[in-house]
Structure 1
């Protein structure tokens, strides 16, 4: 991994592929922010309560060549500015400190999401959306709010889309999609049953499918044509979802601009029309 900012993110997006025991080992290693290039494999294994081969196995499942590569990646990551942005919120924090910590955690999510972004996948997603006849967005809870935000932006430039946050409506939508259509699935975990079912049906009917998720090894990520990954470090109070939402909103803002650029003249003309249509609603 050439970009130190990407190390923590690459580990987090692969965590769902680990067994509970492997996940425990990974968490124990990630907690070792004092790790150095002389920290022996034996010490890490003993601290985690597992064998040395188990530590090597976890390192490889997380995308490294072995323990030494894993160790070096962590050293470089913890020395990066991105890793230092995140600090846990404590009960004694003042309002000023809370604001600083929340903002810096969001900045970390943006930095690391940018570092792991697959630009080829991003461009394919923009192309699918530009060419599509129908664009249907699926998500529940907070993910549905992200879907609505991007749908609103697309409407401003004349690109129509529909947002579905009900399991039955998602399935009805997916049943009507075909080869000229696109379905975008929004799911932080990548394991939301209603979204998975709808995506499976949409793809069965020939539609292009795109996932916006936090985990590249999730069921959803393995079920679609294109995966756009966000990443965020978990926080006991804020949680992953809240911070990842900032990264996903920015990622989709970029996707919106990329789609607009496919036919900039039309996008600009439609933007002017929609702005004029709502202008009179503002108090003078």
Structure 2
């Protein structure tokens, strides 16, 4: 991993995105490192191996698997990452927290996710995704659970500017939709883990039929990411109570808000015209003034 070429805030997110590629024992070693509050440039390889209950050789092997030249390179990058101002923003919730502390921690976790997602955002992928959505003939969005809600949110935004998209949250409907897509069409898969079978299978089928595919996920090394032409990654640290999904949802919605603006920009006059029409169509349903 060439840590000189990107924002140091991206070190933690890039390591987290590769966690699904690690074995449980390898992941335990990484968790051990990030669990040490005093981890710094002086933390020895021997200490990490002892804390994790593995050999020093295995620790080195894991750092190389994560893309670093070795333990020293890994240690320097993680130490710099830990020294970033945003690194202290993520704090675990506890049963003794006051309401004020709960609000502070939840907000800071979301801000942390936004900062780190911005640091890792692939701008080439962002531009390509905007181009594909703008040019797509048929646009079908796939997601289940909370990811389906994100898909519906962005579909609603696009409809406001005349960009139509269908949302499917049923595995059979996803496959039926994907079977009808062809070259020039677009399928977008939403999955936090990137391991949702129904979404992966639909994206794979759509791609086999010639459609372009986009993955919205928290893990760049996931099965969904590997199945898609374009990958847009969010990143968020997990916590026992909130998990990763809550903060990752905020980050994904912000990515998609930016995509929405970029798509509108590609034909600004049409977007402006359609926005006026759709707003006018629902204006009678608003009660802005009390009698």
Residue aligning to 1:217 = 221
Q: Post-superposition shift, 1:171?
A: 0.5
Counterpart selection for 1:17 from 17, 21, 25: 21
Structure 1: distance between partners of 2:126 and 2:225: 14
Counterpart selection for 2:137 from 110, 128, 133: 133
Please give the per-residue CA displacement for 1:162-181, whole angstroms capped at 9, x wherever unaligned. Answer: 00000010001000000110
Please give the per-residue CA displacement for 1:15-64, whole angstroms capped at 9, x wherever unaligned. Answer: 00001111111111111231121221111111111111111111122222
Please give the per-residue CA displacement for 1:164-223, whole angstroms capped at 9, x wherever unaligned. Answer: 000010001000000110000000010101011101110000000000000011011111
Residue aligning to 1:181 = 185
Work out whether 1:235 is the aligned partner of 2:236: no
Answer whether contact 1:164 1:170 (CA < 8 A) is retained. Answer: yes
SS in 2 for 1:44: helix
Work out whether 1:44 is the aligned partner of 2:78: no
Work out whether 1:113 is the aligned partner of 2:131: no
Q: Post-superposition shift, 1:243?
A: 1.1
Please give the per-residue CA displacement for 1:121-161, whole angstroms capped at 9, x wherever unaligned. Answer: 01000001111101100000000000000000000000000
Structure 2: distance between partners of 1:53 and 1:257: 48
- Compare 155-164 and 81-90 and name the one that shifted more: 81-90
Answer whether contact 1:33 1:78 (CA < 8 A) is retained. Answer: no
Unpaired runs of 5+ residues, structure 2, are: none
Structure 1: distance between partners of 2:66 and 2:44: 19
Residue aligning to 1:65 = 69
Work out whether 1:277 is the aligned partner of 2:281: yes
Structure 2: distance between partners of 1:55 and 1:75: 16
Structure 1: distance between partners of 2:51 and 2:101: 33
RMSD: 0.8
Q: Post-superposition shift, 1:229?
A: 0.3
> So what's the TM-score if we normalise by structure 1?
0.98
Unpaired runs of 5+ residues, structure 1, are: none
Residue aligning to 1:162 = 166
Work out whether 1:244 is the aligned partner of 2:255: no
> So what's the TM-score if we normalise by structure 2?
0.96
Residue aligning to 1:261 = 265
SS in 2 for 1:280: helix
SS in 1 for 2:285: coil
State how many pairs are aligned. 284
What stretches of structure 1 move > 6 A for 4+ residues in a row? none
Structure 2: distance between partners of 1:128 and 1:189: 23
Please give the per-residue CA displacement for 1:260-281, whole angstroms capped at 9, x wherever unaligned. Answer: 1110110011001111111111
